[in-house]
């Protein structure tokens, strides 16, 4: 058996031996070998090793699935490289088991034109992790003029969002959905009524009252979700709701899907494992937007995952420098890093607690994000490019932010004991193993 730790080029023949393969796109859920030649899947099934001259990776006890994709990350480059770069963010993604990410446009300058899309793609060349830029909906994310969406799509953008800000003007959102519908590209909206959230720093409720902190009410999200659903229904445009955090939002999305509205939705690991109780000790790593909500909201999100109302799990990976979090709660930046903890959190708290099966989790972290963004699937079948995640569902490990590959450490999960981890990734003629 070939021993490897780190990243190397995938030249010649490689045999991933004895792994349990789960590929929802092919309805595969069984133990099999995967033979790869020069980065392409040459065969699957039971592979004889007699006269095999390539390299063998022992995958006994491991699960091999289509490469995971995080459809909502902030890579901070250009303009905020002190928090993260495209290279460091992709390193964090790789370490977390992801082979693809879609990055949001709220950089400096904003990704609102062809040149900025091309810049990101150029910076991401020759990396194991594929980077798919999300272009801004409005110029400068200022909400006053639509961007040249067609030109950005032609350059390689895969969707549009002013994430970090909502598209507040309803007429502008209508035009965005109508324009995007010409291309079939989704509008990804950060649903927040800024007049309601105001200067709030956490969920408005009992805990915010106890802590004496200004609250962000659930309706600040829900009003915008309702508006967006009505606009999507009216325009027939493709709508994706980012980082859903409340149970009422889930219910409205569920009802919209039943009516045939073109709507998809994501939530994040932190909304599934934490509540606003995490803010009681004024931990700024628990400060994010939307804020952590109540246990009832968390339960509603889990129901939405189980009944397919929520299509995807994304991290909203939001790196910040030490000084931006180590300050008073009111002054601290919103957001946490999530790429390196997402898979472990979801296996530990969803799969092992029987909220989702591992098969269903892979759908929401691999298959569905690519469908939503109209990307080619990472199917495990002969003749396809090898785009794989290797995970160990039984590996026990402790979150240590000091070992993160991200440049930032702003995670509320420091010291958490988790079970399940990405230990390898294959993509772009490269193999990464972390054993």
Following DSSP, what letter does each residue of 49-100 receive, concatenated? -TT--SEEEE-TT-EEEEPEEEEEE---TTT-TTT--HHHHHHHHHHTTEEE
pLDDT, residue 52, reads 73
Q: What distance in Å separates the CA atoms of residue 162 and residue 197, rounded to the nearest whole number?
A: 17
What integer best gives the mean pLDDT of the chain?
96
Residue 109: cis peptide before it, omega within 30 degrees of 0: yes
pLDDT, residue 406, reads 98
Please, what sign has the CA dihedral across residues 154, 137, 105, 72?
negative
pLDDT, residue 53, reads 79
pLDDT single digits (tens) 157-189: 999 999 999 999 999 999 999 999 999 999 999
Structure tokens at 215: 């609250």
pLDDT, residue 25, reads 95
Structure tokens at 372: 């939503």
Q: Cα Rg for the chain, rounded, in angstroms? A: 21
Q: Beta-carbon neighbour count of residue 264 at 10 Å?
A: 22
Confidence of residue 225 (pLDDT cuts 50, 70, 90): very high
Bridge partners (DSSP) listed for residue 7: 432
CA 351 distance to own-chain centroid: 18
| CB burial of residue 219 (10 Å; 0-12, 13-18, 19+) | middle
Domains of the chain are 6-64+382-433 (2.30.40.10), 67-372 (3.20.20.140)
Residue 290: cis peptide before it, omega within 30 degrees of 0: yes
Q: What is the pTM of this model?
A: 0.96
Bridge partners (DSSP) listed for residue 17: 58
> Over 80: is that where the pLDDT of 252 sits?
yes
Please give the biggest Cα pair distance in the chain. 71
Please, what sign has the CA dihedral across residues 203, 208, 209, 210?
positive
pLDDT, residue 161, reads 98
pLDDT single digits (tens) 112-159: 999 999 999 999 999 999 999 999 999 999 999 999 999 999 999 999
Which phi and psi angles does 67 have, rounded to 5°? -50, 130
| CB burial of residue 314 (10 Å; 0-12, 13-18, 19+) | buried
CB-side neighbour CA atoms (13 Å) of 212: 1
pLDDT single digits (tens) 408-429: 999 999 999 999 999 999 999 9
| CB burial of residue 355 (10 Å; 0-12, 13-18, 19+) | middle
Which whole number is the average pLDDT over 99-104? 98
Q: What distance in Å separates the CA atoms of residue 369 and residue 57, rounded to the nearest whole number?
A: 28
Structure tokens at 109: 């300058």
Give the residue numbers marked as catalytic.
316
Terminal alpha carbon distance of the chain: 14
Structure tokens at 336: 């946490």
Give residues with Cβ within 8 angstroms of 139, minimum separation 6.
110, 112, 145, 146, 147
pLDDT single digits (tens) 17-61: 999 999 999 999 999 999 999 999 999 987 666 567 789 999 999
């Amino acid at each position: 058996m070939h021993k490897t730790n780190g990243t190397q080029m995938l030249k010649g023949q490689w045999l991933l031996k004895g792994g349990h393969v789960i590929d929802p796109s092919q309805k595969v859920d069984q133990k099999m070998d995967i033979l790869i030649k020069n980065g392409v899947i040459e065969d699957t099934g039971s592979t004889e090793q007699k006269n095999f001259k390539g390299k063998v990776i022992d995958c006994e006890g491991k699960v091999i699935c289509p490469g995971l994709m995080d459809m909502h990350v902030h890579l901070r480059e250009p303009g905020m490289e002190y928090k993260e770069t495209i290279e460091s963010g992709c390193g964090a993604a790789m370490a977390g088991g992801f082979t693809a990410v879609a990055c949001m446009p709220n950089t400096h300058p904003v990704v609102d034109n062809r040149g900025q899309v091309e810049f990101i793609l150029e910076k991401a060349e020759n990396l194991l992790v594929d980077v798919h830029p999300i272009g801004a909906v409005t110029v400068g994310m200022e909400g006053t003029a639509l961007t040249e969406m067609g030109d950005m799509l032609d350059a390689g953008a895969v969707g549009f969002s002013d994430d970090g800000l909502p598209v507040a003007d309803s007429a502008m959102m209508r035009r965005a959905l109508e324009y995007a519908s010409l291309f079939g590209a989704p509008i990804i909206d950060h649903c927040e009524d800024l007049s309601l959230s105001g200067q709030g720093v956490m969920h408005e409720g009992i805990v915010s009252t106890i802590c004496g902190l200004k609250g962000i009410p659930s309706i600040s999200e829900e009003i915008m979700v309702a508006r967006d659903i009505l606009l999507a229904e009216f325009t027939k445009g493709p709508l994706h709701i980012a980082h859903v955090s409340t149970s009422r939002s889930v219910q409205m999305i569920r009802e919209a899907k039943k009516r045939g509205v073109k709507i998809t939705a994501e939530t994040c690991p932190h909304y599934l494992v934490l509540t606003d109780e995490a803010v009681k000790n004024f931990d700024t790593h628990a400060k994010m937007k939307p804020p952590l909500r109540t246990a009832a909201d968390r339960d509603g999100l889990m129901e939405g995952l189980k009944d397919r109302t929520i299509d995807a799990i994304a991290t909203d990976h939001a790196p910040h420098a030490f000084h931006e979090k180590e300050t008073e709660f009111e002054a601290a930046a919103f957001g946490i890093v999530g790429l390196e903890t997402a898979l472990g959190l979801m296996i530990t708290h969803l799969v092992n607690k029987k909220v989702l099966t591992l098969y269903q989790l892979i759908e929401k972290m691999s298959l569905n994000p690519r469908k939503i963004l109209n990307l080619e699937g990472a199917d495990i079948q002969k003749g396809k490019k090898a785009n794989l995640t290797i995970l160990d569902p039984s590996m026990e490990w402790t979150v240590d932010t000091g070992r993160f590959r991200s440049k930032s450490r702003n995670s509320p999960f420091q010291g958490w004991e988790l079970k399940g981890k990405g230990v390898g990734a294959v993509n772009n003629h490269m193999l990464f193993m972390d054993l």
